[in-house]
Amino acid sequence: MKCNRCGKEIDELEIFCDDCKRHLKNFSSRREVKELEQLIENQKKFDDLENTKELVNLDKLVEEKLEKEEKVELRTKVIEVNNIVESNKEDAIENNEKPKKNKKKLIISISIISIILIGIIILLIILLGKDKPEENEKTVIDYEKVINTYGDKITKISNDYITKNEDVPTWQYILENVDYNRYEVECGIHNIYKDGSIYLAGCKVDGKKIKHTYGEEKEEIKEGKKISVYKLDYDGFIVYTGVNENSSTIAGTITCKTEECTYISAYDKYVLIEEESEYYLYDYTTDSLNFGPFKLTNEYDVLVHNNILYGIIYNENDLNNIYNVQTGKTLKNVKGFLLPGEMDFDPTIMYKYNYAIFVNNDKNEFINLKTGNVSYSIKESIVSFIEKNKIVYITTLTPNNKYKIYNSNGKALFDGKEYINFIMNDNEFLVSTETNFKVYDKNLNIKVSSKNYDKVLGLYQDFVVATKGNNLILLSTKDKEYITFENVWDDSTNIFHYNLTRKSNNKISVIIEDKKMPIAGSSRGIEYYYDIKTKESGFIENTIIQ
């Protein structure tokens, strides 16, 4: 047996001679030397066959194998072993099968680890994708799934109610108990059947109309008195009644629970009935119960405008609640009392803009019928509501007996100032203080700002009456003088009654009280007129004041 390093004859059980052993004393064992020899020889043998990446990886493996050793010491050992291997190439070549097997095992191990890492990465991508459902849902919503989920929840509520009460729940009860907040779902057709099943159609999801329906539409035989609703044409208005059965046009029929029910009134698609001292609201187009039972305290508790029903106020535990017919929801514990509709103005116009006006703590609170919140309050007394171009203008009277104007969103208009007079034409607004007037266009931009006068007595559509000294002046809304009647006005007695009229397309006039007549019970005066077309002017005495 020869020494693996110097080639001297040695005992067959040895690998190195004594001199070589001393030279290699820094190595911890024969096994380490052998492994290093094989690795280095393998690296040199396959130098032309392996790519740069594999050589680097192999070098890293050598470093990882000896990572516990000092780097300087390791590099020295590698150089020494390399010299040994150079002198014993033949022995190293005979033993190169083992490095091949080690390399194959290494490649297999790295492949397995890579596959595992790739799998983990794919799994993380899938899981991270699931963490962002909202982004996906914003672009794609499965409306059929939404309506089915919503319908399933409603069906369970219906079945549970029928099991406990042996009666069909109202739609209001369903809406108050359904636990579904992911999307806002509204269905125009919502039939509840005695077997607990539900039929939904005409639905919206987050305000978007969808074609999907839920359940099956059924025809059920109902018990109780039937009330037919007839549509009549009366003075240009559509009137609904359950009384005149001689009419040829029938609008619909409802079926009460019992025979003891009384027709109260009908609206655009609803009929109100009283049964056993309680009230119910039916949809006569589908013969379905929409809301009830509830208690009505007076006729003003029905929120109706132009025969369209918007809501019902009912009392529960001495608190006012508002049922919104349009949304099917109830506003709880509304404070104050409804502004009555028997005043000189009609507050019901606000219903179509989703507002009801409640008087609370001497304030007019505008309650949003959808949210139940007080959107804004007006302290002044309301004088009128004027609707133009889908906007309501609210005129109020201040403690100074002047007008203040708001829009239907509660915003004070015309710089929030107080005015003596206010008139709205088709495309412009006229406001006046004591001494001047202004004209605004429909977008509330100033078109005309007049000169100052002693007094602006009044406004009328397209002309203005003012005074200067003892003169009475008729003006256009562009602040252009039509005519001045000299020495006819005396403000010292503070007696003035005027009537602004248009007797023809061109003639305008103003009537002032005849100061020669007594103040009390006076009904005659002097009419001063002007014809815009012919320029004719004059006065008529002893004119009756309308």
**DSSP string computed for 476-512:** ETTS-EEEEETT----TT-------EESSSSEEEEEE
CA distances from 372 to 49, 63, 194, 216 (A): 82, 75, 33, 34
Do 99 and 153 sit in the same domain of this protein?
Answer: no
What is the number of other CB atoms lying within 10 angstroms of the CB of residue 511? Answer: 22
Do 270 and 299 sit in the same domain of this protein?
Answer: no
CB 473 within 8 A of CB 440: no
Answer yes or no: is 426 within a domain. Answer: no
208-209, strands of its sheet edge to edge: 185-192, 198-205, 208-209
Q: How many domains does the chain have?
A: 5
Answer yes or no: is 522 within a domain. Answer: yes
Answer yes or no: is 156 within a domain. Answer: yes
pLDDT at 456: 92
Q: With cut-offs at 50, 70 and 90, classify the pLDDT of residue 28.
A: very low
Q: Give the mean pLDDT of the chain.
A: 78
CB 216 within 8 A of CB 234: no
- DSSP type of residue 345: S
Q: Pick the residue with more confidence: 358 or 512?
A: 358
Do 371 and 283 sit in the same domain of this protein?
Answer: no
Do 332 and 397 sit in the same domain of this protein?
Answer: yes
Return contacts of 102-110, CB within 8 angstroms, 24+ apart: 102/38, 103/42, 106/61
Q: With cut-offs at 50, 70 and 90, classify the pLDDT of residue 467.
A: very high
Do 49 and 72 sit in the same domain of this protein?
Answer: yes
Please tell me the distance from the alpha carbon of residue 454 to that of residue 253, in angstroms, as a whole number.
Answer: 66
Provide, rounded to the nearest whole percent, the portion of the chain with pLDDT above 70.
72
Answer yes or no: is 424 within a domain. Answer: no
pTM above 0.85, yes or no: no
Which residues constitute the domain of residue 271? 222-294
Do 255 and 316 sit in the same domain of this protein?
Answer: no
Answer yes or no: is 269 within a domain. Answer: yes
Structural tokens at position 211: 């074609």
Do 462 and 545 sit in the same domain of this protein?
Answer: yes
Do 262 and 303 sit in the same domain of this protein?
Answer: no
Task: Give the residue from 186, 221, 256 where a domain finishes.
Answer: 221
Do 201 and 241 sit in the same domain of this protein?
Answer: no
- Give the containing element (helix H, strand E) for 186: strand 185-192
Please tell me the distance from the alpha carbon of residue 363 to that of residue 221, in angstroms, as a whole number.
Answer: 50
Do 193 and 248 sit in the same domain of this protein?
Answer: no
CB 344 within 8 A of CB 357: no
Average pLDDT score over residue span 273-299: 87
Q: Pick the residue with more confidence: 200 or 232?
A: 200
E-strand stretches of 11-102: none
Do 305 and 396 sit in the same domain of this protein?
Answer: yes
Q: How far apart are the first and last CA of the chain?
A: 146
- Give the containing element (helix H, strand E) for 41: helix 30-45
Please tell me the distance from the alpha carbon of residue 412 to that of residue 406, in angstroms, as a whole number.
Answer: 4
Answer yes or no: is 382 within a domain. Answer: yes
Do 237 and 207 sit in the same domain of this protein?
Answer: no
Average pLDDT score over residue span 243-262: 74
Residues listed for the chain? 546
CA 516 remoteness from chain centre: 66
CA 147 remoteness from chain centre: 20
